[in-house]
């Protein structure tokens, strides 16, 4: 009843997207539809997005099983934050996600591979741009890489339009990553040392277009460590009256920038 009332009050009788766990389909969301539509006489929601559970070592995560983990426990360093995001966004949202340390390591390794290719493409794109006119003559390998970039973007878009099929979209991402790796290796073997700027830019553009959805290519700034520090300081401030016998807490101001 509360959810129906809040939606109608703040969002109107019809909302576009409603999300929640698969365990809420019945009875919570079905009741929400019945209540809302009986009240307004209009369709309640256009799209429902129900996500699967997170399992720990193939068991449902729960406090009763004592396998409950927080992000602070899972993410031990700044790179892990990106790896964890990669692991989540490249999974099918409706399926169960089984978290293990090996799964996080696999995600980190995939991300390192992407990072390496992106850095190489950026380097070769900049190095060759002065000696290569975009749109000029290209070698067969460069033309093939540019064509593969367009094909992978198209496959990526079709996958995301298919109920946010992230695993298929990830396959499209690694399609261009693999093609770029082969082109760079071939150019090195032939003695040219680098692929053409136009091909490098096409491949780089394709990767970044896909990443505009996944959002995993970013630099984790120092705020990560500061947030961890802030959490420790907050707990100390809460304990300050007990530790000192004073009713007043010291004023602490944290200032940091990325």
255 versus 120: the higher-pLDDT residue is 120
61 versus 21: the higher-pLDDT residue is 21
pLDDT of residue 255: 40
pLDDT of residue 243: 47
Domain boundaries, the chain: 1-51, 84-214, 221-258
E runs forming strands in 97-191 = 97-99
Instruction: Give mean pLDDT, residues 196-220.
Output: 95
pLDDT of residue 222: 57
**In contact, 200 and 121? CB cutoff 8 Å:** yes
Q: Among 2.30.38.10, 1.10.730.10, 3.30.360.10, 3.40.50.1370, name the CATH number for the domain at 84-214.
A: 1.10.730.10
Whether 223 shows a pLDDT value over 70: the answer reads no
pLDDT band at 258 (very low <50, low <70, confident <90, very high): very low
pLDDT, tens digit (0-9, with 9 covering 90-100), for 145-198: 999 999 999 999 999 999 999 999 999 999 999 999 999 999 989 887 689 899
Going by their DSSP bridges, the two strands 97-99 and 59-60 should be labelled as unpaired
The set of residues, in sequence order, having a beta carbon less than 8 Å from that of 236 and lying 6+ positions away, is: none
Which range, of 53-57, 137-141, 219-223, averages the lowest pLDDT?
137-141
Whether 256 shows a pLDDT value over 70: the answer reads no
pLDDT of residue 132: 47
pLDDT band at 70 (very low <50, low <70, confident <90, very high): confident
Instruction: Give mean pLDDT, residues 129-139.
Output: 51
* CA angle at 37 for the pair 35 and 43, rounded to the nearest 5°: 140
Predicted TM-score of the model (pTM)? 0.79
pLDDT of residue 29: 96
The residues pairing with 55 across neighbouring beta strands, listed in sequence order, are 60, 98
Q: Rounded to an integer, what distance in angstroms lies between the CA atom of residue 175 and that of residue 151?
A: 9
pLDDT of residue 224: 53
CB neighbour class for 198 (10 Å; exposed up to 12, middle 13-18, buried from 19): buried
Whether 131 shows a pLDDT value over 80: the answer reads no
pLDDT band at 225 (very low <50, low <70, confident <90, very high): low
pLDDT of residue 49: 94
Q: Rounded to an integer, what distance in angstroms lies between the CA atom of residue 10 and that of residue 7?
A: 5
pLDDT, tens digit (0-9, with 9 covering 90-100), for 99-113: 999 999 999 999 999
Q: Take residue 157 and report the two structure tokens written for it.
A: 């878009």
Number of residues that make up the chain:
258
């Amino acid at each position: 009843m509360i959810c129906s009332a809040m939606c109608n009050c703040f969002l109107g009788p019809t909302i576009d997207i409603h999300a929640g766990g698969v365990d809420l389909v019945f009875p919570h969301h079905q009741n929400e539809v019945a209540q809302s539509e009986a009240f307004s006489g209009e369709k309640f929601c256009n799209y429902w997005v129900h996500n699967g559970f997170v399992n720990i070592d193939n068991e449902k995560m729960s406090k009763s099983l004592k396998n409950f983990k927080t992000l602070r426990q899972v993410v031990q360093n700044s790179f892990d934050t990106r790896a964890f995001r990669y692991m989540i966004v490249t999974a099918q949202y409706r399926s169960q996600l089984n978290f293990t340390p090996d799964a996080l390591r696999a995600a980190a390794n995939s991300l390192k591979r992407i990072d390496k290719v992106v850095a190489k493409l950026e380097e070769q794109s900049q190095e060759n741009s002065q000696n290569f006119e975009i749109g000029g003559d290209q070698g067969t390998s460069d033309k093939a890489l540019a064509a593969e970039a367009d094909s992978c973007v198209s496959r990526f878009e079709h996958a995301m339009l298919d109920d946010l099929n992230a695993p298929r979209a990830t396959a499209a991402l690694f399609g261009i990553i693999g093609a770029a790796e082969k082109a760079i290796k071939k150019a090195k073997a032939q003695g040219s040392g680098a692929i053409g700027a136009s091909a490098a830019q096409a491949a780089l553009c394709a990767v970044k277009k896909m990443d505009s959805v996944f959002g995993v290519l970013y630099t984790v700034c120092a705020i990560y460590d500061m947030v961890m520090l802030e959490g420790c300081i907050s707990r100390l401030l809460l304990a300050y009256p007990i530790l000192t016998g004073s009713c007043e807490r010291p004023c602490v101001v944290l200032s940091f920038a990325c």
